[in-house]
Amino acid sequence: MSTLIKIVYVGKKPTAYDNVAKSHKCWNGNGDVQEVTPDQAKQLLKFPDQWALADEADREAIDTPSIVEVKDEDGNDVQVQATELGKPLEKMTKPELVALAQARWGKELDAKKSKKDLIDAIEEFERDLEPVAVVG
């Protein structure tokens, strides 16, 4: 499980909802602090007029590339860098497709399935589901 990152609202509104990273968090005015995942924090921090790190000690967790651990089609553990999950689906390997489904939607896919089946499942997730994290 990831460490949670404390984010402080620095904007001017009396209430701020996270409509950026989809964390479902609400800040009660300037100075309020809420905890989000590192990936959600990365997205929020792209808007420095609205959100900031509450604790600079969390900077390392934000700057460290995320790794998603999955099983390949032979059942071996594979570590996939989150930075690899932003490329076109057709250019991804099976472990990268499995990692994308896990990281973005919290869904487990079987790497033994064909690449086409994995891509079809991800395209269905994109159409029908809200991401649980922004990756890639």
Domain ranges across the chain = 5-63, 67-128
pTM of the complete model beyond 0.75: no
pLDDT of residue 65: 64
| Beta-sheet strands, E only, within 15-128 | 16-17, 26-27, 33-36, 51-53, 67-71, 77-81
State the Cα–Cα distance between residues 82 and 92, nearest whole angstrom. 12
Residues 6 or more apart whose CB falls under 8 angstroms from that of 127 comprise none
Which long-range CB contacts under 8 A does 84-88 form with residues at least 24 apart?
A: 84/136, 85/135, 85/136, 86/135, 86/136, 87/136
- Closest C-alpha to 133, from 20, 15, 49: 20
Mean pLDDT of 79-99: 90
The tens digit of pLDDT for each residue in 19-76 reads 988 899 999 999 999 999 888 898 899 999 999 999 998 887 787 667 788 998 999 9
